[in-house]
Structure 1
């Protein structure tokens, strides 16, 4: 028991040293600003054959550019499944150009993209995606999991976003077989990430604390709730009063609210799926919004974090917002 505890403490100390707290710089002038704005999109990864994009991805990219221009976006969260169907094979893969650089071309999208890997990325070479950070001015993928910290301009408030690798936590899944994650490839690696996560959550004094991963904790759609995350992540989100959890994996837009945590599914960047087969496997009354209709042409989330609130707006790619919710800053009492 003592040895196990010592191992956990050493692991927590080592990862804390490897991931020192640092605050990201916001690119736009913030002289008169009092908020941070960002977009979140998952499952946006095109196709592995010509034309290397889908109609949904193109429409989503176009509308993301419009919303970022009109409402503002300091950065973008890319929530995994960045390259269908088997990720990329090397940092020299033409997919970076064909499915990313040549698609998200709007001037307003030339901001940092903070990236995590999804199950399809793990079917390829995730390390190559991490290495691409050295080739691109906006692609930011420093490690399989990492922490982002921001000062909200002209306030004393802070925002923290913890980016997870849920495939390393829970295992990979075969979408075509509707297979659930069967457990991590390395239990030791999964435990290291959990120890790191708990340490980061426990020490966070951020006014807004977000966690992002690819797999959903709660979802009403094809993949449904992720058992591994319900067991290992959800209790931590509750205990440490996380503001929200953002994810993709299911190819639609969902907002689920449970135990004062907002669960945002933004997986409509490349395909659309109206499936609601797991509607009765989430807490009753927790689903506040859902759409996977083909007529939306795709979708994503815009968020604005101010001194006291975080406003989350779901957009459809054919223009106009679909749903908006407001989350309060953390209450430490």
Structure 2
């Protein structure tokens, strides 16, 4: 990021800190309708931490996503954040958008809507650029917002902007410059996110409730659990019978079961660069699966069944999990 861009970002941060964006602090969840039609089965892929101009096996993962996407006849793709490395996009005209997204995920099966959240690396660039409708004109598949809801016939997906929750990015930025425009004062913003998420979950009558964020609530990978989310987000998920939480951030694939509810935590952050051998304790009884290589995840949902599969860089199924829900007859 050049010196002019640095100064612009710092100026934006100072303006936000002095409250000159008072009308922008809002986390109201926009809703999008996704028609699945056909046999009433919802199918989608989940990938995170990918945008590296095809390097670190990003292109190979993309190729296998295309093959599996065709086999499953997916409806859309979910991106769990850190969409563009190392420092997000520089602006709406940054060629990294084409080089790391449009020109990589070229398979016919992947020409569906991509629902994306911001990761911490995205906040190191021009975060507003990724949210801009200009990118949707460049590639109609792209849809990235801070927090939003996707409603399908049998499931609702609640996308949550988790980066502003993490204190270290503010108190220990490690010489990185973050684009905090429209999210400062942070306490006000994160309170709004939680309040609007809780309201959306309360109103939901979906058969399946899925929450998507960049940061892990539970992880045995490099970053581990995110204490701020364990404290503030997890109680809301438990209270509103959320079934699945999906995230990226740790460059691995993993499944962990909650100890106090049926929630399953799925990490899919292996879209390009993986962290081999960078793992914490693997002996917990709640850990169901961990893989420190590249890959992605598929989700298949019906009214009564959920099936999750993890794939490696060669498209091989390396873990699968399923669960059933009782169907209640009308009285």
TM-score (norm: length of structure 2): 0.82
Q: Which residue of 1 aligns with 2:165?
A: 169
Shift in Å at residue 134 of structure 1? Answer: 3.6
Shift in Å at residue 82 of structure 1? Answer: 0.4
How far apart in 2 are the matches of 1:55 and 1:76?
A: 20
CA deviations over 1:59-109 (Å, ceiling 9, x no partner): 110100000011221100011000001000111110111111111000010
Q: Which residue of 2 aligns with 1:233?
A: 233
Q: Which residue of 1 aligns with 2:122?
A: 121
- Secondary structure of the structure 2 residue equivalent to 1:230: helix
* Number of positions where the alignment pairs a residue of Structure 1 with one of Structure 2: 293
Alpha carbons 1:243, 1:330 under 8 Å: kept: no
How far apart in 2 are the matches of 1:236 and 1:279?
A: 26
Q: Which residue of 2 aligns with 1:264?
A: 266
Shift in Å at residue 23 of structure 1? Answer: 2.5
Q: Which residue of 2 aligns with 1:138?
A: 141
CA deviations over 1:22-76 (Å, ceiling 9, x no partner): 53234xxx34x13010000000110xxxxx3214211110100000011221100
Shift in Å at residue 172 of structure 1? Answer: 6.0
Is 1:25 aligned to 2:35, yes or no?
yes
Shift in Å at residue 237 of structure 1? Answer: 1.2
Is 1:245 aligned to 2:245, yes or no?
yes
TM-score (norm: length of structure 1): 0.81
CA deviations over 1:211-252 (Å, ceiling 9, x no partner): 000000000011000000000111111111101000000001
How far apart in 1 are the matches of 2:64 and 2:315?
A: 7
How far apart in 2 are the matches of 1:330 and 1:231?
A: 31
How far apart in 2 are the matches of 1:35 and 1:255?
A: 23
Q: Which residue of 1 aligns with 2:46?
A: 40
CA deviations over 1:177-204 (Å, ceiling 9, x no partner): 7x9xxxx851111111111111111221
Q: Which residue of 1 aligns with 2:4?
A: none
- Secondary structure of the structure 2 residue equivalent to 1:301: strand
1:44–1:118: structure 2 CA closer, same or farther, 3 Å change rule?
Answer: same
How far apart in 2 are the matches of 1:276 and 1:236?
A: 30
- Secondary structure of the structure 2 residue equivalent to 1:279: coil
- Secondary structure of the structure 2 residue equivalent to 1:302: strand
Q: Which residue of 1 aligns with 2:68?
A: 67
Q: Which residue of 2 aligns with 1:58?
A: 59
Alpha carbons 1:40, 1:300 under 8 Å: kept: yes
1:330–1:115: structure 2 CA closer, same or farther, 3 Å change rule?
Answer: farther
Q: Which residue of 2 aligns with 1:303?
A: 299
1:21–1:62: structure 2 CA closer, same or farther, 3 Å change rule?
Answer: closer
Alpha carbons 1:170, 1:190 under 8 Å: kept: no
Alpha carbons 1:250, 1:267 under 8 Å: kept: yes
Q: Which residue of 2 aligns with 1:278?
A: 280
Q: Which residue of 2 aligns with 1:194?
A: 194
1:331–1:202: structure 2 CA closer, same or farther, 3 Å change rule?
Answer: farther
How far apart in 1 are the matches of 2:33 and 2:146?
A: 19
